[in-house]
Amino acid sequence: MDTLPRWLQYGDQVSLPSRADLYATGDAPGDRPIFYVVAGMVRLEFTLSGSRVPLYLVPDSVFGLVEVLAECSRLCRVLTTERTILYRWDLEGFLTAAGVSWELALNATTCLTRELRILNAEFADRVAAGAH
């Protein structure tokens, strides 16, 4: 594997086997709640209106940020789909890393937007169901 970018020094690296559960819906975020996919793939599973909605994340993806910003428990289950290397930060370390890497800031914004679109669709469905 190539040398990791310098901005990854503000957290730590975790290697996980295929089909490893990282966290479940309702879990507390923990002390290093923000993740970056270095290699491999993870699946975020949102349970919306009784159905599972998957979101697959590949290298350069960021996840775990929604719950930190909203100060809430985990909104989805996350598991690896293959051997995966993740990098994780606490909020301060992530903000430092994003402050020195526009690429990380852009990736985080893109991934945050994807998750919020899924959650917003669920919220809109619930509002519409309540209006009838």
Residue ranges of the domains in the chain? 12-120
Q: What is the pLDDT of residue 5?
A: 77
Cross-strand pairs, 53: 46
Q: How far is CA 108 from CA 47, 57, 61, 93, in A?
A: 22, 12, 7, 14
Q: What is the pLDDT of residue 29?
A: 93
> What gap in Å lies between CA 124 and CA 121, rounded to an integer?
5
Q: What is the dihedral angle through the alpha carbons of 13, 38, 58, 23, rounded to the nearest 10 degrees?
A: 0
CATH no. of 12-120? 2.60.120.10
Q: What is the pLDDT of residue 116?
A: 87
Q: What is the pLDDT of residue 63?
A: 96
Running along the chain, 132 residues long, what does each successive block of 10 average in pLDDT? 72 96 95 95 90 92 93 95 96 92 92 87 67 55
In 3D space, the residue among 115, 102, 4 whose CA is nearest the CA of residue 54 turns out to be 115
Q: What is the pLDDT of residue 7?
A: 76
> What gap in Å lies between CA 21 and CA 119, rounded to an integer?
21
Q: What is the pLDDT of residue 60?
A: 92
Q: What is the pLDDT of residue 89?
A: 95
